[in-house]
Structure 1
Amino acid sequence: MAVLRLSLPLSSFLILIFTLFILRLSPVHSTCTSQKFTNNKTYSNCTNLPTLNSTLHYTFTPKNMTMSVAFVAIPATSDGWIAWAINPTDTGMAGCQSFIAFKDSKGSMLVKTYNISSYSSIIEGKLSFEVLDSSAEFSKGTMMIFATVKLPMTMMEINHVWQVGGSVMNGVPMKHEFLPGNLKAMAKLQLEGMVDKSSNGTSVGSPMASPNTNSAPGLARVCVVLMFLGYLLGLIF
């Protein structure tokens, strides 16, 4: 009986340790709905992107095929860079029409456009679609890219890619890491069916479901499993 009394606290202790371990590994970042921007910028849609602790806010106006975005991410280092891109021809990095933001030599934020022709080189220059405006900001360790682009009339689905890097040398962003989070930083946005709340609520359908990085449901399942394991340990010991 004495052994049984000792086993229950032991199982509870193991549950606590494993739960704290899972919590430590779980991604922690604010949801896109809680983020606020300067100059009262607002967007019709937002999504917590599935990798790199980043979010995307966007408004699509079908009348003139413009899309305004705010991409928010934490760079790999304080002197690093963030990027958001549209790939009009494929789903990967090669061919991306990219906005990359970083600090200049004086510490001020800037954003430049790059045509990523291959995985080994980036070329600064105009994109294949019209850029109406772009800017970048830095606040509390987080970088933000703001841009408005005019899309081709036939582009109803966007292959978008995002990325973060750790260094900039002589005004040129250096290569990013090739970890799973970096390699999986791509998704699709369905423009056909979006609601543009800025145009008197004119409905053109609903946006494609975007991945949600809120880990609460998955964590709850993990905790249930750990509690069951603790119960089994109590029976065994």
Structure 2
Amino acid sequence: MALGCNLRHQTSDGGFKMYQKCMDLQTQEASLAWTLYPRNCTIDMVFSGSLPSPSGWVGWGINPKSPNQMTNSQVLIAMKDPNTGQPILLPFVLDPSVKLQQNPVLSRSLDIPIITSSLILRGNSVKIFSLYKLHPNKTSLNHVWNRGIYVQGYSPTIHGLSQEDLKSTKTVEMLSGLASPNDYYALKTSHAIINSFSWGFLLLLGVITARYLKHFLPLDPSWFYMHVGVQVTGYGLGISGFAMGLKLASVSDSGGISGTHRKLGFAIVSLGTLQSVALFFRPKKTNKYRKYWKSYHHFVGYACVTISVVNVFQGFDLLGLSPDSKAKLVYCLVFSSLVGICAALEINSWVIYCRKKKEENEDEGGSTEEEPDFNKLSCRK
């Protein structure tokens, strides 16, 4: 069992340092604590572990290429100098030959940007301190750690082969501090999918239903109930996606969240809530205030849909999706299809209106033509 993580650690000069976040690595009594400095893209870390034997070794490092793998990892290994017995910290690169055990592992300089490193070894307790330079916009690190019972000269021997020893890897989202980066990315992906579908698709579909479906469903309540059903579903899903966004913002220290994206999200939820509440105050058709309610309902609805679509593309940019990414292409295809359907139905509505108006004028014997009243084409609820 792991000992758990601590934010407060003693340093080599006898003082103490407080870190912002920590994580129990859950194998080999290991833990990790760190402080991230976004301004200069550095992260101050301390790895805590324990020697399995007085002549053993403990190592921690980063795999810059692949998650959940020791091969190609670049590590710092703590051991006692075989000649003096003093604690030493040596760098090693675990190339594929290490896994095959063809030759002893020899210390060599690291290629990853570790700025400084130091070691505290007291009894069997090991603390490896490091200051690491992060790549811009990449706060996820593939951590590896392990330990062995003895060394040969200055070379660590093979580590244990138990399930605990073989699972000593973890990819950590250092910005969020979540226990598992997979949870962070799953939350981010779910937020993107749900909000794109709800605010960016269902709301637009609800508008299309209200504006055009009544021409195909003569019974007055049918299109209205379909419109309400689609909008309520979209609003419900959108609120759950909004809650995910709040969670993402709370665990990311606002470092990876765009202020514009967040503000637009609050605006969308506010407008959507106003629309939902307004449903309970809808006047009857004979009420003189009905036309004012309809104008308000249309304005808020169209504003909500417009801002939602804009914010969906803002979210795509935050995810770092390229213009030819599948997710963006699928949404653009669906969105353009809906816009095309709207255009076709709008033209059809005007054709129907003009034809009916012409027939009415002919029946009345009138010779004047009136300009089409756009408001008469709007949805009546």
TM range (shorter): 0.5 to 0.7
Q: Which runs of 5+ in 2 are unaligned?
A: 179-251, 257-381
Q: Does residue 30 in structure 1 map to residue 80 in structure 2? A: no
Q: Does residue 75 in structure 1 map to residue 51 in structure 2? A: yes
Q: Does residue 120 in structure 1 map to residue 93 in structure 2? A: no
> For residue 204 of structure 1, what is the amino acid of its counterpart?
S
Alignment of 1:116-155 (within 5 A): 116-118=94-96, 119-120=99-100, 122-155=105-138
Asked whether the 8 Å contact 2:38–2:255 carries over to 1, the reply is no
Taking the aligned partners of 2:76 and 2:137, their CA distance within structure 1 comes to: 22
Alignment of 1:1-237 (within 5 A): 27=1, 30-33=3-6, 36-38=9-11, 39-91=15-67, 92-104=69-81, 105-118=83-96, 119-120=99-100, 122-193=105-176, 203-204=253-254
Taking the aligned partners of 1:152 and 1:45, their CA distance within structure 2 comes to: 20
Query: Residues 77-123 of structure 1, C-alpha deviation per residue, up to 9 Å, x if partnerless?
Result: 11111111111111200010111111112121111111111223644
State the partner residue of 1:9.
none
Greater Cα radius of gyration, structure 1 or 2: 2
Taking the aligned partners of 1:126 and 1:34, their CA distance within structure 2 comes to: 29
TM-score normalised by L of structure 1: 0.66
Taking the aligned partners of 2:176 and 2:42, their CA distance within structure 1 comes to: 15
Report the CA distance shift for 1:193/1:73 in structure 2 as closer, same or farther (over 3 A). Answer: closer
Query: Residues 192-230 of structure 1, C-alpha deviation per residue, up to 9 Å, x if partnerless?
Result: 4469xxxxxx93359xxxxxxxxxxxxxxxxxxxxxxxx
User: Greater strand percent: which structure?
Assistant: 1
State the partner residue of 1:213.
none
Query: Residues 116-170 of structure 1, C-alpha deviation per residue, up to 9 Å, x if partnerless?
Result: 1122364422222222211111123211111112122243211111111111111
User: Greater helix percent: which structure?
Assistant: 2
Q: CA deviation at 1:42?
A: 2.2
Give the structure, 1 or 2, with the largest relative contact order (CA under 8 Å, sep 6 or more).
1
Report the CA distance shift for 1:143/1:186 in structure 2 as closer, same or farther (over 3 A). Answer: same
TM-score normalised by L of structure 2: 0.42
Report the CA distance shift for 1:60/1:34 in structure 2 as closer, same or farther (over 3 A). Answer: closer
More off after superposition, 49-58 vs 38-47: 38-47
> For residue 4 of structure 2, what is the amino acid of its counterpart?
T
Q: Secondary structure at the match of 2:9?
A: coil
Q: How many residues align?
A: 173
Q: CA deviation at 1:34?
A: 7.3
Taking the aligned partners of 2:123 and 2:34, their CA distance within structure 1 comes to: 22
Taking the aligned partners of 1:32 and 1:142, their CA distance within structure 2 comes to: 14
More off after superposition, 117-126 vs 64-73: 117-126
